[in-house]
Every structure is written in C-alpha cells, then in structure tokens.
Amino acid sequence: MDKVDDGRLISSHLPPKYLPTDHIANGGKTILVFRNPKDSAVSMYYMMRKQKIVGDFDISWNQFLRYWLEGKILFGSFFDYYNKWQEELKTNPMMDVLVVQYENLKKNTLNEVRRIQNYLGLNHSDERLQEVINRCSIDNLRNDVDSGKLKTQLIDNNGKSALYRKGIIGDWKNHFTVSQNEEFEAIADEKMKGSIFNYRAWN
C-alpha cells in the first residue's frame, strides 16, 4: 500500500469504537459536532425522503418521528450515539476531542471557526477564515451539487441536493405538535440525563 501523507481528514457518523485505533493512539484530533436533536430529526426526515439512493421513503412525519425516537433509523439512535461518545471521553484519556455546538457555529460563526483553527494548530487571518466561511455556506454547497460541480450520491430524482436544505436553528417548531414535543422531551431528558450535550439550551 502506498504511504499516505499526514493531514488526512475523515468525515464519519460512526461511534468512537469504530474510529481508527492508530488515530486515537497517536493523539489524532477529533471534532465532534452536536446539534439540537429536534432539528436533527427534522433534517434527517427530509434527507431520507429526498435521497435517490434510499428509494421509496414515503412516510409521514409522525411515523418517522416514532422510528427516530426508537432508534430505528439510519445510523441508529441519536441518544445512544452521543452517550457512547460521552462514555468514551470519560474512560479514554487519550481521546483528543473538540465538541462544537452546531447552534454556536451558526450564531457565532467566526468565533467558532477561530476556536476550531486554534484546536487544529492553524494560524489564518480573520479575512482568510471569512473566505472559508463564505465558501462553505449552505447556499454555496447546495448550488455546487445542484449545478453538477460537486458529484455526490446524495441527490434526489431531479439531481438536486438531498443533503443541504435549510440548515437553520429551530425549524423543528414548524413540524412538532405540542404532544410530539412533550413526548420527545420526556424521552430525551431520560436518555440524556447528566449528559454534557445540552440540547435544552437550544429549545
């Protein structure tokens, strides 16, 4: 196998036990993004409905939310995923992890990107960081897919992006009924009791 240069980047939805062991043993850095689970559920619902490679996914929001709360979805339970990360961070001092709150990244983008670059040991000017922020805006990313500039399987039957939709904070309020929200919070509060991942801060 050819030698790969340092500076590799892996994007993953896998739990920590499936990360490359050498990455952890060698002090590799990991950025873990956490988003309000309510918005995460809404986002996944639309992604699954639009994605061509998934096939027929014509189910109601109410039915999908039931599956989501039970962890019967792609990648499994949201709650289990972050609970496994918390347990790993407690028991494995070799893990070098920066937790990034999605909502902070949206509200205080430049400050959060500064924090990320400090963690990675980089030293770019604010002007350069702003260029990166602009280039990575959800509109630009969506346009890259829709125009065919970026090739991906995450498209709908019309070749449009199935991944980049709104990316906003609080879209769950346009989907949850009062009873759905009450049930969701009761389950989330129990599943994430004592968690470092505080979704309640973004209700």
What are the counts of helices (DSSP H) followed by strands (DSSP E) for the chain? 9, 2
What pLDDT shows up at residue 1?
45
Virtual CA dihedral for 103, 14, 40, 138, nearest 10 degrees?
60
Question: From first to last of its 203 residues, what are the pLDDT tens digits of the chain?
Answer: 455 566 678 888 888 888 888 888 888 899 999 999 999 999 999 888 876 555 566 789 999 999 999 999 888 999 999 999 999 999 988 889 999 999 999 999 999 999 999 999 999 999 999 999 999 998 888 888 888 787 777 777 777 777 778 889 999 999 999 999 999 999 999 999 989 998 777 76
What pLDDT shows up at residue 26?
83
What pLDDT shows up at residue 4?
55
- The phi, psi pair for 32, rounded to 5°, reads -110, 120
What pLDDT shows up at residue 42?
95
Cα–Cα dist 132/7, whole Å: 18
Report the topology of domain 16-202.
Rossmann fold (3.40.50)
- The phi, psi pair for 97, rounded to 5°, reads -125, 135
Domain boundaries, the chain: 16-202
Please measure the distance between the N-terminal and C-terminal CA atoms of the chain and give it in whole angstroms.
49
How large is the greatest C-alpha to C-alpha distance in the chain, in angstroms? 56
What pLDDT shows up at residue 203?
67
| Residue at token pair 């909502």 | 103
E strands present in the chain: 29-34, 96-101
